[in-house]
Structure 1
Amino acid sequence: MSNLAAKTSNNDDKIEEYVWENFENWIQCICVVNFDLELGQALEGIYPRHVTLTKQEISNICYLAFPDSNSGCMGDTTFIIRLPNSPGKNTRRDEHLQYNKKCAPVLQIHSSYYWGYVYFRQVKDVSLPRGYFQKSVVILTRLPFNNLFMKICDLLAPEYFEHGELSLEAACCNIERWPPPSPGVMLNLPLLGLVFQVYIPQSNSNSPNWQMAALTETTENQIQTSVEDLNCFEILQPVLSHIHLLWELILTSEPLVVMATSPTHCSSMVLALTRIISPLKFCGDYRPYFTIHDSEFKQFTSKVQGPPPVVLGVTNPFFGKILHHWPHTIRLGNDLGSSQKFKLKKNVNSKMLDNSPGIYTVYKPFLQKDKNIIKKLISGVTSRRPFEVQSALLRRHLLELTQSFIIPLERYIASLMPLQKNISPFKAAPTPLPFNPDDFIATLETAGPQLTTGIKGDWVGLYRKFFRSPNFNGWFNMRYTDLALKLQALHLEALSNADLKDWVQGKPEVEVVDMMLKIRDKITKCREVNIPVDDKVKEKLNQRLQDIISSLPDDLKNVFQVT
């Protein structure tokens, strides 16, 4: 009996006894998809077995679990998918809500989507009707931990192919015991005799590399890993000469399709592209790998409505014809890490006939290129500078470019805060002033990106295009919420310092009770809405509550003391 079989056989009878309260904190389920000669792609198994998926979700997973290209993909192929969950299934667990409040924006859970981490194996097998073994293991989760889950998939899938379903059942039992995903805390995640040691960056993390915090000493069976670790330079190297153009396309949520010969290449490129505007979160839709069988195929390929703000990764050559009306296409060669220089091709209609690698676009950039950073990176290729160093250089440049773009917006939105002296404890908390694009544009002459970057161009035109994109809506909603919470916190602080014993004098009983109920409601919201106030303010608010209750007549006082 193998070591794995020995480990799992003892627990086999106990698997059905699990309550499965914690498993979905990390993973929705593990799917096994087989290629059936008569049925095509078919779901062979779901682990844990109690998990249910809708017919549409199963259909999408089955088609996305297999490479959809002419390349063959013999051997093992790994890639990443992102797919919508069915309507009505976008409820989030309390653990996920707490996680989203603390994690870095780019790692937040989007309640309408699943992530899938796919390990596909295709090998010759004369005993099978088609002569090939074709099967995929898919980890389905709501967490965008691309590095961590691919490493877990790299562990689970070969074990499953060798030992069968016992390995997946044992893995599920391990995952059920994991602590909840907690940003800012070192987590140990035991799995099949190994321990993944991970650190999830917090929302206030300044590192664009998602580097791990200082790790404890590890033993032989521990694997230190970051939750996300894209080698941006290696992936983006073919399109490096046009990185500023791509930065603008992603920043403004332009429709973009990445065509490749394998799902590995297109999914890596799509994910890398959505990260080039970090720390700004990409809020458009994106599918690292997309097939003609997807439930949203008609919506994305419609020529009536026009292309939506989505980045698609595809491998089927048919997309070259059906998406020829899309304004921007990246065609990748067979070697993603190639140092070949991609050409920029302005005649988009030619992409139906031209299959050569390149960027096909009708876009006219607002900004000039920073030729110095491109030369520096290309010279690094010639001198064989390590990819890690090249990635760090590229990330830093893109981070500084995005920050130069965002800082004037941050400065302007901070000006929308009402003055603190105008916050009264006896009136409702004020709200931020509305965002006025023209007022913001007027600030650029003295406080624009020219203060932090030497890149010249039509910054005003770029901002106006950005204002019409999902990225602006996502950023603004998050910042406006932050401002509103800050105002709530300042209002609570003013209320905690108010002399309510003096205030209640001569006030009608109904007005006093109303103030008491408002304070009680605000204390509850401090816990539920995550208003940023410290414990001292909460203690003082409770004291103000007691001040008001003590001023009430005895009959009311007894009622409210009890409740």
Structure 2
Amino acid sequence: MDPFDSCDSREGASKTAATNSQTPEPWSRFSAWLECVCVVTFDLELGQAIELVYPHDVKLTEKEKTSICYLSFPDSYSGCLGDTQFSFRLRHSVGRRGSWFGQEDAYNRAAPVTLQKEHAHFHGYVYFRQVKDASVKRGYFQKSLVVVSRLPFVELFHSLLQVIAPEYFEKLEPCLETVCNEIDQWPAPVPGQTLNLPVMGVVMQVTIPSNVETPAGSLSKQTQQENLLPAPMILPSVHELDLFKCFQSVLIHVQMLWELMLLGEPVVVMAPSPTGSSETVLALVSSIAPMRYCGDYRPYFTIHDSEFKEYTTRTQAPPNVILGVTNPFFIKTFQCWPHIIRLGDLKISGDLPKQLKIKKLAKLKTLDTKPGIYTAYKTFLQKDKALIKRILKGIQKKRPSEVQSSILRRHLLDQTQSFIFPLEQYLSSLMPPQRTVSPWKTPPQIRPFSQEEFIKTLDQGGPHLTSVLKGDWMGLYRRFFRSPNFDGWYRLRHREMTQKVECLHLEAICAADLLAWTRDKSEVEIVDLILKLREKLAKARRHQLPVKEEQLERLEQSIQTIISSLPEDLQTVLHRQSQSEPHEH
């Protein structure tokens, strides 16, 4: 996670992209979007096997290849005939070094935390085809085309597969090479820009959300020159799923599911197909946006997974993870888990989707367990009956799915923001006052987070000011403080606040008359100051703090002026030391 605050990050990303376009490393543009493309097939002797990886020199470990093989085919219980799309998430092998390129950090600084590139996981997007084929011994053609990426762009990559997979299954390898070469010509993924991505005669137009204010819909320079391309296929989002479709059978429990996600509770989603399991898990994770879900989540999980033993041990409490599964074997395995969502095929009652009932965990015994939510969890907040009524009325009025999804997403976003706002307000009170930042002292400390002090602020500035929901908000916060999501959120915000103080301190130093300060100081004190200033300068460049370049240059000039006021022998030593240090840019 590299969530550095950034004022000029979009510009930085553009510069990096520009540099890469002048001297691109082999596959550097491709690698900005994808790690690789794999073809997984069924071999009578080997079972599931990787038939092809592109680019050929991509470095996947044997463990990663094995995991991709098993995660790229639906479980035999799913009975998926025809074409099936789903996604998975895969932990990197220990000790792997990623294929980093310059735009990595620039992208992450400009992207919302929920859309940043992952450093410890790959996302896999699968297009699986199973059709009858008399020419094959088993009587079926079974193959998956898999796109592996660090980016959580589920909608973009599933749309990409819809364009390339049917063609690939007809024409095979040469077609894949052409596709990868086309992707290697795409502009870099820059948050806040509208990008045209041509592939196989289709142009997908996407806008990657940004956490930095940008002019709406500005097309990248590269795409403006592509006047000869066909009219684009505009994707409304790179990552947003159809929430209404995912939550149709659990609409009356959306409040409870939001709380389970906020608290990072262990949840298993059992679905009839990997499509259902992966979409539901991703919808659950996205329900607490703009907060990042900091537990682990696996949209599709199988008994062959390398973490299977770790996640199914009975000797300790279940880990903070959401697992999407299809194999009925898991019903027995996960009997000790506190929350299990068992989905069935969607049933309609009258003209409304039949809603799952809350059931006791004790009933989760047999393999023919009925659909339901098996949990003893009691919500802290009451349901928003007006929302449920509005969505159900929308079904009767045949309101389009994207409108229903938009209503649900807006509600969940408002709810999360109402929850976060008091925390943000309290955090800002922990920042040292700007007047206490002096160029002659070390930066002041941020006050520590006190849970009890925060709880006392809720009467005056709690979520009840912005949310219609009634209930035990205080109890929800206390439980949240014990969750991985609080830990992840606080670490990120504390890091950003520390950086803010560092920036203010650096700005104060840049504005100070350093030479005047040195006039009555000893040589030892002056050399100490020079070394500290150099360290500060290197840190600012290394972390790419949001400080204007001219301020850093002014500081560099001040250092040179102070050095030139020293005796010549000291000047020589300091210049020599400066040359031997690695310069951070």
TM-score scaled by length of structure 1: 0.92
Of 33, 42, 54, the match for 2:61: 54
Relative to structure 1, the CA distance from residue 205 to residue 340 in structure 2 (aligned partners, 3 Å threshold; closer, same or farther) is farther
| Alpha-carbon distance between aligned partners in 2 of 1:402 and 1:434, rounded to the nearest angstrom | 24
Residue in structure 2 matched with residue 333 of structure 1 by the alignment: 344
Residue in structure 2 matched with residue 96 of structure 1 by the alignment: 104
Deviation at 1:531, TM superposition (A): 1.5
C-alpha contact (below 8 Å) 1:500/1:547 kept by paired residues? no
Question: 2:296 aligned with 1:285, yes or no?
Answer: yes
| Alpha-carbon distance between aligned partners in 2 of 1:454 and 1:193, rounded to the nearest angstrom | 49
| Alpha-carbon distance between aligned partners in 1 of 2:512 and 2:454, rounded to the nearest angstrom | 36
| Alpha-carbon distance between aligned partners in 1 of 2:542 and 2:203, rounded to the nearest angstrom | 34
| Alpha-carbon distance between aligned partners in 2 of 1:463 and 1:90, rounded to the nearest angstrom | 38
Question: 2:362 aligned with 1:349, yes or no?
Answer: yes
Secondary structure in structure 2 of the residue aligned to 1:352: coil
| Alpha-carbon distance between aligned partners in 1 of 2:120 and 2:478, rounded to the nearest angstrom | 28
Secondary structure in structure 2 of the residue aligned to 1:343: coil
Relative to structure 1, the CA distance from residue 204 to residue 398 in structure 2 (aligned partners, 3 Å threshold; closer, same or farther) is farther
Secondary structure in structure 2 of the residue aligned to 1:384: coil
Residue in structure 1 matched with residue 217 of structure 2 by the alignment: 213
Of 535, 546, 549, the match for 2:563: 549
| Alpha-carbon distance between aligned partners in 2 of 1:73 and 1:539, rounded to the nearest angstrom | 62
| Alpha-carbon distance between aligned partners in 2 of 1:240 and 1:205, rounded to the nearest angstrom | 34
More displaced stretch, 346-355 vs 257-266: 346-355
Question: 2:234 aligned with 1:224, yes or no?
Answer: yes
| Alpha-carbon distance between aligned partners in 2 of 1:131 and 1:118, rounded to the nearest angstrom | 22
Of 487, 492, 498, the match for 1:473: 487
Residue in structure 2 matched with residue 429 of structure 1 by the alignment: 443
Give the letter for the 1:89 counterpart: R
Question: 2:36 aligned with 1:23, yes or no?
Answer: no
Question: 2:159 aligned with 1:146, yes or no?
Answer: no
Deviation at 1:18, TM superposition (A): 8.8
Of 458, 464, 473, the match for 1:459: 473
Deviation at 1:23, TM superposition (A): 2.5
Residue in structure 1 matched with residue 520 of structure 2 by the alignment: 506
The size of the alignment, in residue pairs, is 543
Secondary structure in structure 2 of the residue aligned to 1:456: coil
Relative to structure 1, the CA distance from residue 44 to residue 355 in structure 2 (aligned partners, 3 Å threshold; closer, same or farther) is same
More displaced stretch, 50-59 vs 90-99: 90-99
| Alpha-carbon distance between aligned partners in 2 of 1:60 and 1:433, rounded to the nearest angstrom | 45
| Alpha-carbon distance between aligned partners in 2 of 1:212 and 1:41, rounded to the nearest angstrom | 45
Residue in structure 1 matched with residue 502 of structure 2 by the alignment: 488
C-alpha contact (below 8 Å) 2:346/2:353 kept by paired residues? no
| Alpha-carbon distance between aligned partners in 2 of 1:193 and 1:559, rounded to the nearest angstrom | 62
Residue in structure 1 matched with residue 71 of structure 2 by the alignment: 64
C-alpha contact (below 8 Å) 1:265/1:336 kept by paired residues? no
Relative to structure 1, the CA distance from residue 112 to residue 403 in structure 2 (aligned partners, 3 Å threshold; closer, same or farther) is same
Give the letter for the 1:289 counterpart: Y
Residue in structure 2 matched with residue 440 of structure 1 by the alignment: 454
| Alpha-carbon distance between aligned partners in 1 of 2:429 and 2:348, rounded to the nearest angstrom | 45
After superposition, residues 60-459 of structure 1 pair within 5 angstroms as 60-91=67-98, 93=100, 94-204=102-212, 213=217, 219-220=229-230, 222-225=232-235, 226-335=237-346, 339-353=352-366, 355-459=369-473
Secondary structure in structure 2 of the residue aligned to 1:462: helix
Q: Deviations over 1:376-418 (max 9, x none)?
A: 1111111111222211211111111111110010011111111
C-alpha contact (below 8 Å) 2:347/2:353 kept by paired residues? no
| Alpha-carbon distance between aligned partners in 2 of 1:374 and 1:284, rounded to the nearest angstrom | 28
Residue in structure 2 matched with residue 6 of structure 1 by the alignment: none
Relative to structure 1, the CA distance from residue 223 to residue 521 in structure 2 (aligned partners, 3 Å threshold; closer, same or farther) is farther
> What 5-or-longer segments of structure 2 have no aligned partner?
1-23, 580-585
Give the letter for the 1:87 counterpart: V
Residue in structure 2 matched with residue 13 of structure 1 by the alignment: none
Deviation at 1:425, TM superposition (A): 0.6
Secondary structure in structure 2 of the residue aligned to 1:415: helix
Q: Deviations over 1:198-235 (max 9, x none)?
A: 221112479xxxx9836689852533223213111121
Q: Deviations over 1:489-548 (max 9, x none)?
A: 100111011111210012121221221222222222222213222234324323332332
Residue in structure 1 matched with residue 40 of structure 2 by the alignment: 33
Relative to structure 1, the CA distance from residue 98 to residue 503 in structure 2 (aligned partners, 3 Å threshold; closer, same or farther) is same
TM-score scaled by length of structure 2: 0.88
| Alpha-carbon distance between aligned partners in 1 of 2:426 and 2:191, rounded to the nearest angstrom | 29
| Alpha-carbon distance between aligned partners in 2 of 1:18 and 1:278, rounded to the nearest angstrom | 35
| Alpha-carbon distance between aligned partners in 2 of 1:237 and 1:335, rounded to the nearest angstrom | 8
Identity in percent: 51
Give the letter for the 1:70 counterpart: Y
Residue in structure 1 matched with residue 10 of structure 2 by the alignment: none
| Alpha-carbon distance between aligned partners in 1 of 2:445 and 2:357, rounded to the nearest angstrom | 47
| Alpha-carbon distance between aligned partners in 2 of 1:19 and 1:388, rounded to the nearest angstrom | 40
| Alpha-carbon distance between aligned partners in 2 of 1:205 and 1:77, rounded to the nearest angstrom | 38
Secondary structure in structure 1 of the residue aligned to 2:276: helix
Relative to structure 1, the CA distance from residue 417 to residue 503 in structure 2 (aligned partners, 3 Å threshold; closer, same or farther) is same
C-alpha contact (below 8 Å) 1:82/1:115 kept by paired residues? yes
| Alpha-carbon distance between aligned partners in 2 of 1:91 and 1:205, rounded to the nearest angstrom | 30
Deviation at 1:69, TM superposition (A): 4.2
Deviation at 1:59, TM superposition (A): 1.2
Secondary structure in structure 2 of the residue aligned to 1:22: helix
Give the letter for the 1:332 counterpart: L
| Alpha-carbon distance between aligned partners in 2 of 1:336 and 1:405, rounded to the nearest angstrom | 34
| Alpha-carbon distance between aligned partners in 1 of 2:198 and 2:399, rounded to the nearest angstrom | 36
C-alpha contact (below 8 Å) 2:192/2:212 kept by paired residues? no
| Alpha-carbon distance between aligned partners in 2 of 1:213 and 1:276, rounded to the nearest angstrom | 26
* RMSD over aligned Cα atoms: 2.2
Q: Deviations over 1:219-267 (max 9, x none)?
A: 5253322321311112112111010000000000001111111111110
| Alpha-carbon distance between aligned partners in 2 of 1:343 and 1:145, rounded to the nearest angstrom | 29
| Alpha-carbon distance between aligned partners in 1 of 2:112 and 2:373, rounded to the nearest angstrom | 31
Deviation at 1:429, TM superposition (A): 1.8
Relative to structure 1, the CA distance from residue 503 to residue 18 in structure 2 (aligned partners, 3 Å threshold; closer, same or farther) is closer
| Alpha-carbon distance between aligned partners in 2 of 1:336 and 1:250, rounded to the nearest angstrom | 26
Q: Deviations over 1:305-343 (max 9, x none)?
A: 121111111111111111111111111122399942323
| Alpha-carbon distance between aligned partners in 2 of 1:18 and 1:473, rounded to the nearest angstrom | 38
